[in-house]
Amino acid sequence: MVSERVSLPPFQALVDEHWRDVARLARALAGPVDGDDVAQRAWEKAFAAYPNLTSAKNLRSWLLTITSRCATDLHRARKPQSPLDQSLPVAVDGPESAEWPDPDLWQAVNELPERQRFAVTLKYVGDLDHHGVAAALDTTPAASRRLVSDALATLRNKLGVDHE
């Protein structure tokens, strides 16, 4: 089967249009220390895959999915690999309060379980719909809704916010 050639914009046009979104999501998911490295890795992966894309639909979502997966790879690499290492804390730097509003909220977000933290960040920082969040987390839209809902419930409870 021969695949049709997709008309894609020049890669630099993609970078120019979406670099802020990628950088913002990378910093939200990986923290200010590692965010730039995650964003750079995401752009490298996107550049390598770009010529083989079979669809030019929603390139922003495609980029944010790559960014999310690069951040996930970073967090997985940091997890202790042996029982001896499990007493060591796994540091996950969150956004710096000087750059992000409501440091208490971001502290609470950083304390969420990893998949909930990624889901809520993709939804509200990355501005992805549940299909985009599901694609980034390799799950279903229904599971994405549940992850976001559970994360929001935990955040409301932890921060003492009433929900009506």
More confident site: 104 or 131: 131
Averaged pLDDT score across all residues of the chain: 81
Same domain as 71, residue 23: yes
According to the model, what pLDDT value does residue 5 have?
65
CB 36 within 8 A of CB 70: no
Q: What is the pLDDT of residues 19-36, one digit of tens each?
A: 999 999 999 888 888 999
SS3 53: coil
pLDDT on residue 63: 94
Closest CA to 123 of 19, 28, 27: 28
Residues 110 and 76 grouped into a single domain = no
Q: How much is the average pLDDT of 105-111?
A: 83
Give domain status of residue 14, yes or no.
yes
Q: Which has more pLDDT, 111 or 164?
A: 111
| Full residue range of the structural domain in which residue 26 is found | 9-80
Does 113 lie in the same domain as 72?
no
Whichever domain contains 54, its CATH number is: 1.10.1740.10
What's the pTM value of the predicted model, to 2 decimals?
A: 0.66
Q: Are residues 16 and 61 in the same domain?
A: yes
Statement: residue 49 has pLDDT above 90: yes
Shared domain for 111 and 154, answered yes or no, is yes
Which burial class, exposed, middle or buried, applies to 145 when counting CB atoms under 10 A from its CB (0-12, 13-18, 19+)?
Answer: middle
Between the alpha carbon of residue 133 and those of residues 27, 40, 70, 83, 143, the distances in Å are: 17, 21, 14, 32, 10
Q: Does residue 1 lie within any of the structural domains?
A: no
Domain boundary among 80, 111, 131: 80
* Total domains, the chain: 2
Least confident of 68-72, 91-95, 117-121: 91-95
pLDDT at 99: 55
Q: Confirm whether 19 is domain-assigned.
A: yes
The whole-number average pLDDT for the span 67-84 is: 74
Q: SS3 for 38?
A: helix
Distance CA 98, CA 81 (A): 33
At CB < 8 A and 24+ separation, what contacts does 104-112 make? 104/159, 105/155, 105/159, 108/154, 108/155, 108/158, 108/159, 109/151, 109/155, 111/158, 112/151, 112/154, 112/155
CATH number at residue 116: 1.10.10.10
Q: How far is C-alpha 76 from the chain's CA centre?
A: 14
How many Cβ atoms are within 10 Å of 38's Cβ, its own excluded? Answer: 26
- Predicted local distance difference test score (pLDDT) of residue 91: 37
Give Cα 114 distance to the centre of its chain: 11
Q: Does residue 76 sit in the same domain as residue 108?
A: no
Instruction: Let me know if residue 96 belongs to a domain.
Output: no
